Structure 1
Amino acid sequence: MHEVDMTKCLLLSLHEWKRGQEPLTPVVSAVHLQVGDFTCVEPEALRFTFAAAVEGTWLDGSTLEIDTVPLRARCLGCSSVYSPDPDQAYRSPCCDQPMEEIVSGRELRIRSVDYSLPQQASDPAAVPSR
């Protein structure tokens, strides 16, 4: 189940992003991912491992929203772009060439994060006295 390893990488990226928001801790409602069909990632398994991993952390309660990116390839014989079919050994339907160039479908990236920053409490020492 490589979804666990992918969740670990996702959390490392989110922790790095969080450091850029310091001293505040963002309240995250959703993390939007693009996941290619050719990555062999099971979206439901990834959602499950993410939910389990963030429980009790600063990301608790956030959801993982996944946009699937279809596998597309370019035929090097005729330059047409097609949707490879595993039943046809991913070969080009126009020229029967083997799949050599993937145009999309290998993505695994954070597209965006829905979050808010809590209001920073005023420091009473910073308020001038009368």
Structure 2
Amino acid sequence: MHELSIATAIIERADELARADGTEAVSAVTVRVGELAGVVPDALGFAFEVARDGTALAGARLVVEQVPAQAWCGPCAEEFPVGMPPFFWCPRCDQPSSDLRSGRELEIAGIEPSPAPA
């Protein structure tokens, strides 16, 4: 399950970013996961819960934004969904495309600091 190593890397990086911003505690980490990134969002969520214990993100939740795979068709000048398994033929003009515009993302999109205690 490579999601555990990904979750660990997300926690480490989110902690670094939070500390650099002067944040002591994090309540949520938002990640963007592309349809073709090879990551199972539910498995990543489970792995995040396991890996966060004992870290500065122990109380944080993981928010996963799924990014659909989209390709660009030059002759039609349009984006089209690639789907899963991926199919890189334009549904409009029936031409192949090699221009993948989205779907491989695996990135931290945001970190939400925990509210300061009153």
TM-score (normalizing by structure 1): 0.76
* Code of the aligned partner of 1:42: V
* 1:97 partner SS: coil
Q: Which residue does 2:3 correspond to in 1?
A: 3
Q: CA deviation at 1:77?
A: 2.8
Identical positions, percent: 35
Q: Which residue does 2:69 correspond to in 1?
A: 71
Greater shift, 42-51 or 52-61, is seen at: 52-61
Gaps of 5+ in 1: 120-130
Q: Which residue does 2:41 correspond to in 1?
A: 43
Q: Which residue does 1:20 correspond to in 2?
A: 20
Q: CA deviation at 1:78?
A: 2.3
Q: 4+ runs of 1 displaced by more than 4 Å?
A: none
Q: Which residue does 2:114 correspond to in 1?
A: 116
Q: Which residue does 1:125 correspond to in 2?
A: none
Contact 1:84/1:90 (8 A) holds in 2: yes
Contact 2:33/2:66 (8 A) holds in 1: yes
Q: Give the Cα–Cα distance (whole angstroms) in 1 for the partners of residues 84 and 11 of structure 2.
A: 32
Contact 1:34/1:111 (8 A) holds in 2: yes
Q: Give the Cα–Cα distance (whole angstroms) in 2 for the partners of residues 63 and 86 of structure 1.
A: 27
Q: CA deviation at 1:118?
A: 4.5
Q: Which residue does 1:61 correspond to in 2?
A: 59
Contact 1:84/1:99 (8 A) holds in 2: no
* 1:111 partner SS: strand
Contact 1:36/1:68 (8 A) holds in 2: yes
Contact 1:76/1:100 (8 A) holds in 2: no
Greater shift, 55-64 or 94-103, is seen at: 94-103
